[in-house]
């Protein structure tokens, strides 16, 4: 098995050079990398969850910094941290339940238990909850007495009891890593199959003889429309070309190849054509906690046109695109500028870009943003792999996948 640091460095290089296209591929590879980190991480039985979370945070910080605008990376890092917390409290709860059973069934040792520091079920439950709230993991370790701190009797029964406790802790350590890896495998499977899960809902939203408008190219939208076609739905698709990269040309060609009636239009023709449209269906780069959408540039214009003509604006997004942050959070980089060469030929406009006016700035500036921000009031419905949701419900859906303690991914100082 290759060294995990080699895998991390290779993935960091790909992120920095923008070699990974699409949020789905980025999310899947991030989850696979973190699975390798967890698998190769050695943890002691005293602070298993804390050690795993520190290892994930250490790698996650580097991944997020490598490409801050790709929010899917941070989403997966936070999802994995949440998985560790959930699996740890599940094991702790099971241990508490087992302790309660033994306390009820063994009445003969009550007098002996009174001589030793024993935690009540309420104390153990509080300790379990504290395990999930950094920076109290170290405090928990200091408060909970381990087998070495508890005095034992000189009988052979006491020795065997100490050995069994040690074996139980070692088994719990292995089980935590195993359960976390299994949960991450399920996450990877969900990311891989998100297109199919979303496409299965197409027949519920696209009806006979409707006209659908989309912009640019999105595989999620492609599979969604083709799934409706396979269910014998007859409809027409208007595709705005998505300048300046013209990704809509690729989508239009793929739709025609799969037998859908398609009309390619310019972005500036959206307002002119929107009155003929029954529904707008688009993809997303990320869905924020307030229900706002970070999407390819030009979609805010489409959303405004849809609102003006009372046309439903539907956003398709896998759960790996749900971001627990708000647009105003300092950790969120909403946009990045692409090369001006996508807009014009430098040779043709070289005279305009000379510093001919004698000042320190060129005569012509070229701005080529990658994304638009669509506020939640312009969105009619979100369709994820878990079903359809109103924008006002997105914060609750996001809360099921993330912990509030992981919104800022950074390692805690060792002294804390």
Domains of the chain, first to last: 193-400 (3.40.50.10470)
SS3 call for 89: helix
Region 13-28: mean pLDDT is 94
Greater confidence, 364 or 393?
393
Closest CA to 222 of 246, 193, 199, 249: 199
Q: What is the mean pLDDT of the chain?
A: 84
Residue 377 confidence (pLDDT) above 90 = yes
- What gap in Å lies between CA 381 and CA 280, rounded to an integer? 10
pTM of the model: 0.81
Give the end-to-end CA distance of the chain in Å, rounded to a whole number: 34
Q: What is the pLDDT of residue 334?
A: 84
For the sheet with 286-287, list strands across it.
Answer: 286-287, 293-296, 371-374
* Omega before residue 317 within 30° of 0, cis: no
Q: What is the pLDDT of residue 120?
A: 45
Q: Compute and round to an integer the Cα radius of gyration of the chain.
A: 27
CA dihedral 393, 396, 402, 408 (to 10 degrees): 80
Supply the DSSP symbol for 83: H
Element holding 350 (H helix, E strand): none
Q: What is the pLDDT of residues 134-155, one digit of tens each?
A: 444 444 445 544 444 444 444 4
SS3 call for 296: strand
**387-389 and 381-384: which strand pairing?**
antiparallel
Counting every residue written for the chain, the total comes to 416
Closest CA to 194 of 216, 229, 219, 228: 219
């Amino acid at each position: 098995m290759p060294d995990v640091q080699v895998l991390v460095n290779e993935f960091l290089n790909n992120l920095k050079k923008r070699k990974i296209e699409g949020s789905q591929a980025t999310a899947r590879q991030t989850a696979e990398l973190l699975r390798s980190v967890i698998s190769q991480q050695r943890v002691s039985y005293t602070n298993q969850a804390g050690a795993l979370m520190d290892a994930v945070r250490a790698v996650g910080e580097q991944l997020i910094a490598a490409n801050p605008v790709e929010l899917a990376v941070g989403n997966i890092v936070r999802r994995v941290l949440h998985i560790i917390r959930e699996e740890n409290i599940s094991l702790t709860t099971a241990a508490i339940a087992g302790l309660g059973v033994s306390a009820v069934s063994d009445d003969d040792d009550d007098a002996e238990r009174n001589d030793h520091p024993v935690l009540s079920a309420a104390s153990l439950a509080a300790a379990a909850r504290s395990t999930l709230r950094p920076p109290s993991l170290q405090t928990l370790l200091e408060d909970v007495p381990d087998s070495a701190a508890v005095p034992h009797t000189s009988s052979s029964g006491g020795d065997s009891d100490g050995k069994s406790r040690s074996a139980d802790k070692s088994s719990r350590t292995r089980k935590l890593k195993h359960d976390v890896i299994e949960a991450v495998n399920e996450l990877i499977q969900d990311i891989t199959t998100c297109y199919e899960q979303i496409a299965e809902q197409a027949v519920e939203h696209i009806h006979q003889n409707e006209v659908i408008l989309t912009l640019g190219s999105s595989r999620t939208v492609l599979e969604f429309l083709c799934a409706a076609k396979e269910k014998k739905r007859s409809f027409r698709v208007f595709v705005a070309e998505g300048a300046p990269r013209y990704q809509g040309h690729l989508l239009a060609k793929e739709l025609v190849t799969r037998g859908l009636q398609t009309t390619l239009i310019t972005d500036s023709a959206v307002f002119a054509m929107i009155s003929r449209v029954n529904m707008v269906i688009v993809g997303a780069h990320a869905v924020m906690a307030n229900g706002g959408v970070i999407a390819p540039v030009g979609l805010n214009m489409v959303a405004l046109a849809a609102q003006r003509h009372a046309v439903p604006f539907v956003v398709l997004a896998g759960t790996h695109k749900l971001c627990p942050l708000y647009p105003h959070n300092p950790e969120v980089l909403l946009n990045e500028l692409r090369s001006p060469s996508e807009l014009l030929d430098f040779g043709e406009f070289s005279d305009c870009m000379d510093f001919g006016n004698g000042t320190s700035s060129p005569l012509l500036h070229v701005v080529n943003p990658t994304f638009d921000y669509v506020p939640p009031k312009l969105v009619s419905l979100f369709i994820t792999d878990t079903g359809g949701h109103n924008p006002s419900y997105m914060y609750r859906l996001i809360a099921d996948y993330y912990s509030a303690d992981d919104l800022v991914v950074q390692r805690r100082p060792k002294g804390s």
